[in-house]
A = this chain, B = another copy of it.
């Protein structure tokens, strides 16, 4: 065990806070026990990977941008949309510099660069991977709103869905957003549903030999 290991572990514990931090927008809308920032970031990374693969960009790079994009929220929290006129926050790149200050410099630079590239999506000359990651961020929100819409009966979800639709930058992002609205979150397990109560013919006992 070294001082370096200790600092890396402290960083890992700080990252762990994102497992406990709820997404504020869902609280505003009255979703009980909503997803955490970690859960959101998990699917953002996977969606960024998928979008980048379709767009001919680097899927691993895009996934990494999505993975780290909300890291600064361990310090600044998840500022809600209703708070925008009232709250100013340090730039994500500034926050991440503090978060990674004690990490090995190579690692700190890599993480800082991921945040900076994700943030650059809003500016001209952005990398395709940053656009994929940013679209993934919006797409996960839209998918989650659809899930809450069908799973909890919360009628305010349409406000989230409608506000996302015009914001996608990539062709794939736009196309997936439209498909998300047209597809039920329960389609993937629906064919299984017809077998819920039936004896499973495929189930043979284990260990009987």
Q: Please determine whether B88 and A192 come into contact, CB atoms closer than 8 angstroms.
A: no
A126 cross-chain contacts in B, Cβ below 8 A: none
Q: Which residue of B lies closest to A103 (CB)?
A: B50
Residues of B within 8 A of A47 (CB): 12
Smallest CB–CB gap between A65 and chain B, Å? Answer: 10
- Asked if residues B167 and A203 are in contact (CB atoms below 8 Å), the reply is no
Indicate whether A24 sits within 8 Å of B77 (C-beta atoms), given known contacts A42-B42, A159-B193, A205-B91. Answer: yes
Contact, CB under 8 Å: B9 / A179? yes
- A63: CB under 8 A from chain B? yes
User: B206 contacts A86, CB within 8 Å?
Assistant: yes
Q: What is the total number of copies of this protein in its complex?
A: 6
Give the docked Cα–Cα distance between A21 and B200 (Å). 22
Output the nearest chain B residue to A44 by Cβ-Cβ distance: B42
Task: Tell which of B50, B163, B185 touches A30, judged by Cβ atoms closer than 8 Å.
Answer: B185
Residues of A within 8 A of B (CB): 1-2, 5-6, 8-22, 24-25, 27-33, 35-36, 38-39, 41-43, 45-47, 49-50, 53-54, 59-61, 63-64, 67-68, 72, 74-91, 94-95, 98, 104, 106-107, 110, 122, 138-139, 141, 143-144, 147, 150-156, 159-160, 162-164, 167, 172, 175-176, 178-180, 182-183, 185-190, 192-200, 202-208
Contacts A6-B182, A9-B179, A164-B196 aside, 4 further interface pairs with beta carbons under 8 A come to A13-B183, A38-B42, A89-B203, A91-B208
